[in-house]
Structure 1
Amino acid sequence: MLDEPRSDFSRLRERAGLSVEALAPLTGYSPATLYRWERGEATPRQAALVVLEDLVNKRGATEPEKPAFRFIDLFAGIGGIRRGFEPLGGKCVFTSEWDRFAQTTYAANFPHDDHEISGDITKTEAKDIPEHDLLLAGFPCQPFSIAGVSKKNALGRAHGFADETQGTLFFDVARIIAEHRPKAFLLENVKNLVNHDKGRTFEVIMRTLRDLGYHVPTPRVINAKGYVPQHRERILIAGFREECDFSFDDLDVPSPLNGPKLGTILHPEDGSEKSPDKHYTDASGKVSDKYTLTDHLWQYLQDYAAKHRAAGNGFGFGLVGKGDAARTLSARYYKDGSEILIDRGEGRNPRRLTPRECARLMGFDKPGESSFIIPVSDTQAYKQFGNSVAVPVIEAVARHMLPYIAAEAAQDQEHLQRRLPLIG
C-alpha cells in the first residue's frame, strides 16, 4: 500500500520537529484544523505558515537573541492579560496602573521588570511610552458624549476621534495607538460594552479604531466557564495594523457546559494540599473560620433573598457546592460574598471563597497550586481578582493572535531587508 502524499504543510512541520499536537497551541489553531492542513483538505493560513517557517529557521537555537515581540500593559490591574502573552516570548516594556494596591500585587509577581509601573495614564505623554509591537488594555468603560458633527462645525470645535473619545479612558488607548502604530492590539471589557448608551459607545470605539487605519475583525464575547468554574462573559477586541485573515470565529473555545467544577479550585481541607496557605487555612488545611458567614450576615442574606423572591425579583445569594460552577466574581465580593457562597452542609453557615481560591477561580493559579503572590489584604485581593480577567481565556486568545503578530514582524523584517541597499 502506497503512503498517502504529504502536503507542504506536513513537510514543513516535520522539518520543525514538532507533532501536530505540539504545534497546535503555537499557531492558535486546533489539532483538528492542523490535521486538515496535513491532509491537504484545506489551505493553511499564511500567518500560521510564517510561524512554522520561523520555527524551522530557529530549530536548534537554545536562546532567542531578542523577544518575539514587545508589548505594553495598560490598565494592567494585577497582570492578568500580560500572563497570557508573556509566556509566548513577549517582553513587557511599559506598565500603567493607577491603583496603588494593584501596583503592589503586580510588582510582587513581576519582580524582574526593567521599568517602573506608571500611574495615571491620562498624565502620560504617548511619546514617552517605549516603542512596542502589541498594545494590551483592559480599559474601563466610561460614558461617551457624542454630539452632532454639524453642531461641532458650527461651534468651530473638533469632532470625530479627537472629540468623541476625549474625556474617556478609551481616548488614552486610542492616542497611544495613533502615536506608536503597534502591529496589533487587544482590548478587553465587560460584555455590556456592546449595549452601553444604546450601542453608541461601542459604535464610537469600533469606528475610532478603524479610522486609525487598523483592521478590526468582529469582536467576540467569550464565556470563561469553559476554562474555569465561573460564568464570566467578556468582550475581546483585536486589531491589526495590516489587513489579515484573523478571525475570532477560528478560536476553539471549550463549551461552558463541559467546563471544570468548583471542587477543582477549592481548598481540599483534608491535609492533602501541597502548599497550604497559612493566611487562609489552619495547620491541618481547614479553611479559616473567618471566611464563614456570621449568623447575622447569613440570616440577613436569606431574608433579603426571600423578600425579593416574594416581589418576583431574581436577587439573592449564590449557594454552590463542589460540583457546581459559580456566578461571576465581582469587585464587590469583599462586602458579603453573596454571589459565591460555598455550601458547607446542613446546619452550617456557608463561607466565602478565600483569596487563594479566587486566584485559582480566575486562572492565576492552576488547581491545587499557590504560586501567585497575594501581598495585600483580603479586601484588596477580592477587589483585584473581581476586576481582573480569566487568565486561561487570554492565554487562548494570545495563542490565536501570535501567528499574526509574528507575521507582522516577518513583514517588517522583509521591508527592512529591501531597504538595506538603498540605505547603504
Structure 2
Amino acid sequence: MKQVHLRMEDELYHELMDCSDMAGQTLQDCVREAVIYYISARKKNKKTKQEGQFTFIDLFAGIGGMRIGFERAGGQCVYSSEWNKYSQQTYFANFGEQPEGDITQVAASDIPEHDILVAGFPCQPFSIAGVSKKNSLGRATGFEDKTQGTLFFDVCRILKKKRPKAFLLENVKNLCSHDKGRTFQVIRESLNELDYEVFYEVLDGQNYVPQHRERILLVGFDRRRYGKDIVFEFKLTPKTPRPVMKDILDRDVDGKYTLSDKLWLYLQNYAAKHKAAGNGFGYGIAAPDGISRTISARYYKDGSEILIAQEGKNPRRLTPRECARLQGFPDTFKIPVSDTQAYKQFGNSVVVPLIENVAELMVEKIKDYHKPFAEYVKEREEMQNGY
C-alpha cells in the first residue's frame, strides 16, 4: 500500500470534508474513491465498440469472473456494478475500472446500450402479499408487482429498458427449490413477460476445474428480435484431460496455512460426532488425483470443506492463489486484498472457463440469427449432412 500526500486549497478541502461527512466515509476513502472514478472515466472514454465483437454489462459483478469469461468469448464490457467495497478493490486492480455501487440507485436509462446482460444476482424470496391481493381483485400482476424490493427486479427493469439481444443469469443450484419453488416460478414468469425465451440448466464446474460445483445458468434471447422459434442447447466442450487437484497446488506453501493442533482436533471431533449421529458433516481431504468439494464464501473460517494432506504435519487449507485456480482464474489475476477477503471473493465467484464456454455458445447463436437467411440454411444443411 502506497501513501500520497496532497495539497489543496482551503475551499476544496472543506468541500471534500462535507462530501466525506455526507457519505459517511473517512477522508482517505473519499479521496481514494474520487481518484478511482477519475481513472475509470478516462479509461472508458478511450474505449470504442470495435474493441469487442459484442458488448455486455456485468451486474452483481463480484470480482469479475463472469467478465473474464465473456471477454475471452470476444466481448467488451461497457458497464459494471458491484456494491462490496473489497470486491470493488479487486475488480479495479484487475480491470482498471471501478464498478458502480448500489444498482438499485442507478437509473436504467443511465446504463449503456449492450448486446448481452450478464448477472450473478443474489437469491431472495419474493413477497406475494401484494400479488395475492391483486389476484383476489381479479387484476393482473406483472414483474413489477412480483419482484419489487428484490435485486432481481433491477435485472428486469434493465432488460425492459435496454432490451439486449440476450442475457446470462447465474445462481446457486437451490434456486429451483428456494421458497418451495415460488422464487424460480416468479423468475421464469417475469422473464417470459418481458418477451425473452429462457433456457436453463444446472451445470457442474468439475468438467473445467477440479471442483464439484453445481450452479444454475439461465440463458435468454429476445423474442421480439428473433421470434418465438428460438432453439438453444448447453452443448458444452469439457476440458481434456479433466483437471485434478494436484494441477492447481503450489509446491512451497507458507506454514500459516497449516491447521493448528487445536483446530485440527476440533474438526476431527466434530466429524466424529456427526458420523456417530448418522450425518455426513465433517471436513474434506481433497485427493491429489481427484476433485474437491464446493468452495464457499465461508472457507475463510476454517477451510474444512477442502483440506490438503501433508506428510508428517496437520492438513492445510488452500492458499488464495490456489482458490483462484480452483475457480479457473488465470495466475495473472491480481489478489490485492487480505486472505480473509480473498477466500470470501473466490468462494462467491464462478467457474470462469464454464462461463466462457456458455458465452461462446450464446455468441454463436446470436451470430446465426444475424446471418443472411440463405447462409444460415446452408450451414444447417451441411451440419445435418455431416459435412
TM-score (norm 2): 0.78
1:328 aligns with 2:308: no
Instruction: Quote how far apart the aligned CAs of 1:216 are.
Output: 1.2
- Structure 1 residues 197 and 150: CA distance shift in structure 2, 3 A: closer
Which amino acid counterpart does residue 121 of structure 1 have in structure 2?
A: I
Instruction: Quote how far apart the aligned CAs of 1:403 are.
Output: 1.4
1:91 aligns with 2:56: no
Instruction: Quote how far apart the aligned CAs of 1:245 are.
Output: 3.9
Q: For residues 333-412 of structure 1, what are the structure 2 equivalents within 5 Å?
A: 333-345=299-311, 347-365=312-330, 370-407=331-368
Structure of higher RCO (CA pairs closer than 8 Å, 6+ residues apart): 1
**Partner residue of 2:213?**
232
Q: For residues 251-330 of structure 1, what are the structure 2 equivalents within 5 Å?
A: 251-253=236-238, 259-267=242-250, 269=251, 286-330=252-296
Q: For residues 210-249 of structure 1, what are the structure 2 equivalents within 5 Å?
A: 210-217=192-199, 219-241=200-222, 242-243=226-227, 245-249=230-234
Q: For residues 116-265 of structure 1, what are the structure 2 equivalents within 5 Å?
A: 116-147=98-129, 149=131, 151-152=133-134, 159-217=141-199, 219-241=200-222, 242-243=226-227, 245-253=230-238, 259-265=242-248
Percent identity, aligned pairs only, is 62
Contact map agreement 2:54 2:75 (CA 8 A) in 1: yes
**Partner residue of 1:51?**
none
- Structure 1 residues 87 and 165: CA distance shift in structure 2, 3 A: same
Aligned equivalents of 1:138, 1:149: Cα separation in 2:
26
Structure 2 gaps of 5+ residues are 1-47, 373-387
Contact map agreement 1:228 1:261 (CA 8 A) in 2: yes
**Partner residue of 1:39?**
none
Q: Decide which structure has greater helix share.
A: 2
Aligned equivalents of 1:390, 1:236: Cα separation in 2:
12
Which amino acid counterpart does residue 229 of structure 1 have in structure 2?
A: P
Aligned equivalents of 2:155, 2:328: Cα separation in 1:
26
**Partner residue of 1:82?**
67
Instruction: Quote how far apart the aligned CAs of 1:379 are.
Output: 0.2
- Structure 1 residues 153 and 236: CA distance shift in structure 2, 3 A: closer
Contact map agreement 1:228 1:259 (CA 8 A) in 2: yes
Aligned equivalents of 2:83, 2:261: Cα separation in 1:
37
Paired residues, what number? 321
Contact map agreement 2:51 2:76 (CA 8 A) in 1: no
- Structure 1 residues 66 and 300: CA distance shift in structure 2, 3 A: closer
The RMSD of aligned alpha carbons is 2.2
Contact map agreement 2:49 2:55 (CA 8 A) in 1: no
Instruction: Quote how far apart the aligned CAs of 1:248 are.
Output: 2.6
